[in-house]
Structure 1
Amino acid sequence: MIDNIKSTTVFQGGQRQTKPARRFIRKFSNDWSMDFSAMLAYNLLIALLPIAVALFGITGLVLKSHPDTQKRVKDKIIDLFPADNTTQTGIKQVVDLAFNQLSKDAGLILAIGIFFALFGSSRLFIAIDKCMTIVYRLPQRTFLRQNLLAFGMLFLFITIIPIMLAASSAPSALMSIIPGGGGRFGTFIAGMVFSLLAAFIFFESIYWFVPNKKMSFKVTWCGALVAACTLEIFIILFPLYVRRFMGNYAGQIGFAVILLLFFFYFATILILGAQINAFFFEHYQPLVDGLGTYISQMHQEHGVGAANKPLIAAHTKNDEL
């Protein structure tokens, strides 16, 4: 019966129509995309918190003699995040720690803290670079080029992220000021477009600069647009999800759970956009098996039957290290 169904014209036509989507899902799965998303989520966590503490600490140091201004800045930072008690409680604890503790340090201690925050945060883009080597089947950059890219992308990241956060909070802030339904709706749409544009620029910059090959707008725009739209949908719906399904979590535990969930989602759509660009626009095909099995088969074929042999016959410089 199954063979009869497979032989029908409708079934064969459906197979032809869905073949690109099925091959894309296969590439996404065989490249271990979800596993790399978890890795990026962890790197994003350890990258954002140090740089946030350093930046807030510097701001607290500058505004140390202006407590009223410092309080307004802290309130603005807290208001950028979803307006639920769990998230804002955790954000408030991090912001208070940064403003009140790090700003008390000065001179060499603060400089060392900033240096390690920047260095640790830049590791995120090295992790993204390694993910792109799998997505695009590329060789890794050298140590120096990898770190130059990481620091360059970090400074771009620091520039764009505050704009994205401000843009995401602009619609709700402006709607409370502008009277009238029509004016509020127009303001909301304008704020969403601006936020979407900032997210698109962020993802486009990653897809353009991070892969170790020459890229162009015509092969990166679609993945950046999909990732930006998906992120905006998440930013809108995430507060509703937190209030509806995560009300039992409280304090630091709730904040940690919410933050990890957001980072994992963000990392997943980052890799999803790259996979869209690689498969549909540059026609990279899926591996015949999962990444681990594929490497195992490559070793059996080229490793001369011994586990300690390289995958290629000739020794490379890396083998001598």
Structure 2
Amino acid sequence: MMDNLKSTTAFQQSQRKTKPYRRFLRKFLNDWSLNFAAMLAYNLLIALLPIAVAIFGILGLVLKNHPDVQNDVKNKIINSFPDDNSTQTGIKQVVDLAFDQLSKDAGGLVAIGIVLAIFGSSRLFIAIDKCMNIVYRVPERPFIRENVLAIGMLFFFILMIPLMIAASSAPAILLSIIPGGGGRFGTYLAGILVSLLVAFILFEAIYWFIPNKKMSFKTTWCGALVSACTLELFIILFPLYVRKFMGNYAGQIGFAVILLLFFYYFATILILGAQINAFFYDDYQPLFEGLGTYISHMHDEHGANSPKKPLYDKDSELQQ
């Protein structure tokens, strides 16, 4: 155990002499960031329908006497996704399924459906919380606190969706009204800036509230800004990428592949921003090996000679 401690200390001292960007890359990779991004992408995909059910359930209760407004919101949500036939067709199927299912239910079934949808879609933010535990080396929250935070973040996300839709659709509406090249360019630029601001607020909220430690704007703004700028650039370029390299994918399979790829890049951007905050502003250094190897060393350091022996089972230690 002392040998392992000495080797770890020597590794940390050598790491301090390594260039920061190389240490950051090591932390990013050793924390299994790309693997956790794939996990988040899958969670985003399976949370899509429950989120749609929750949104349209709430909107259905609020706007039940205004079907035209509901349809307008549906169309704007569909058009806010990348502008290619496969993705928007798939999103339309999800939205229509969620809306039609709620319209068939009545009375208490609607409320039950909304509650279950809220619980199901909030699992996404629990998955993000688990990723932040690795990035910041912090313990997990108790079950109740974890779920309260996840549901709260879900409602915040639902509130942010109309702002995202308005930010993405406003330039297209104004461009058809404003004459002249200068006015059109200014409108397009303003739309990008507003979209950046909304994305920054979303990432800032995730980086501030989800990690299980005290956070501040000073330690979270940079990652949120990098993530927001990267996401905006990604949203602009992704439709071009889909048309050029994924034109052969069609139908529901194409929708699933394209959407999963979109979510994977989004999740990678989210974890990248968190890693920037943790490394450059909270001074969290990389693990000396990948996460799996690190856990193996921790298992050995705690004297668990048998692979089946729990790390912190003091009773079993006394028996041996």
Q: Under a length normalisation based on structure 1, what TM-score does the superposition of the two structures give?
A: 0.87
Q: Cα–Cα, structure 1 residues 125 and 92, in superposed 2: closer, same or farther, change >3 Å?
A: closer
CA distance in 2, matches of 1:238, 1:119: 31
CA-atom RMSD in angstroms? 2.4
List per-residue Cα deviations over 1:70-115 (Å, max 9, x = no partner).
5444333332223322222222222222333321211122222111
Match in the other structure for 2:213: 213
Secondary structure, aligned partner of 1:90: helix
Shift of the alpha carbon at 1:173? Answer: 2.8
Higher relative contact order (CA 8 A, sep 6+): 2
Shift of the alpha carbon at 1:180? Answer: 0.8
Shift of the alpha carbon at 1:40? Answer: 1.0
Indicate yes or no: 2:75 matched with 1:75: yes
CA distance in 2, matches of 1:59, 1:74: 10
List per-residue Cα deviations over 1:22-45 (Å, max 9, x = no partner).
111100010000111111111112
Contact 1:207–1:274, Cα closer than 8 Å, also in 2? yes
User: Match of 1:299, as an amino acid?
Assistant: H
CA distance in 1, matches of 2:82, 2:128: 27
CA distance in 2, matches of 1:141, 1:120: 19
Secondary structure, aligned partner of 1:81: coil
Structure 2 unpaired stretches of 5+: 1-14
Shift of the alpha carbon at 1:68? Answer: 5.0
- 1:47-58 counterparts in 2 under 5 A? 47-57=47-57
Indicate yes or no: 2:118 matched with 1:89: no
Q: Cα–Cα, structure 1 residues 196 and 309, in superposed 2: closer, same or farther, change >3 Å?
A: same
CA distance in 2, matches of 1:37, 1:209: 19
Secondary structure, aligned partner of 1:101: helix
Q: Cα–Cα, structure 1 residues 151 and 61, in superposed 2: closer, same or farther, change >3 Å?
A: closer
Match in the other structure for 1:265: 265
CA distance in 2, matches of 1:193, 1:95: 28
The alignment covers a number of residue pairs equal to 302
Q: Cα–Cα, structure 1 residues 45 and 186, in superposed 2: closer, same or farther, change >3 Å?
A: same
Q: Under a length normalisation based on structure 2, what TM-score does the superposition of the two structures give?
A: 0.87
Match in the other structure for 1:33: 33
CA distance in 2, matches of 1:18, 1:308: 37
Percentage identity across paired residues of the two chains: 76
Contact 1:61–1:103, Cα closer than 8 Å, also in 2? no
Structure 1 unpaired stretches of 5+: 1-14, 317-321
CA distance in 2, matches of 1:97, 1:304: 51
Shift of the alpha carbon at 1:286? Answer: 0.4
Shift of the alpha carbon at 1:62? Answer: 6.7
Match in the other structure for 2:106: 106
